[in-house]
Amino acid sequence: MSIDEIKKSLTKQVSEPITFEVTETQTTIKQYNGGDLPAYFKWDRGFSPWYFRVRIREGKVVTDLLKPNSEGYDLSYSTTTSAFDPSNTPITEDEWRNEMHNFIKQIR
């Protein structure tokens, strides 16, 4: 290939527009205060829903996680970020209490 052919090829490549796509992700941060807590959420994307309660305990924000499973329920802690995930659905305190009632029945 001669130098003139290379120049023509490069000129053609540079002059042609380049097309590409950019995906933009936008997030929204909502501020909560102590008056908004406790807050209750449900993650319902799998076999059984998970229930979150975000509350203040001894001056710290704590996230309880109640997970129904084949043997009953598991109660543990989770991250606040997990509870406030946009894929979770806000629920009422009554729905949380009903699940806690089932958990306590399992313990007895």
In tens, the pLDDT along 24-33 reads 776 665 667 7
For a pLDDT cut of 90, what percent of the chain falls above it?
Answer: 30
Distance in angstroms between the alpha carbons of the first and the last residue of the chain: 86
- Residues 6 or more apart from 44 whose CB is under 8 A from it? 50, 89
Give this prediction's pTM: 0.68
Q: How far is CA 2 from CA 6, 15, 95, in A?
A: 6, 20, 77
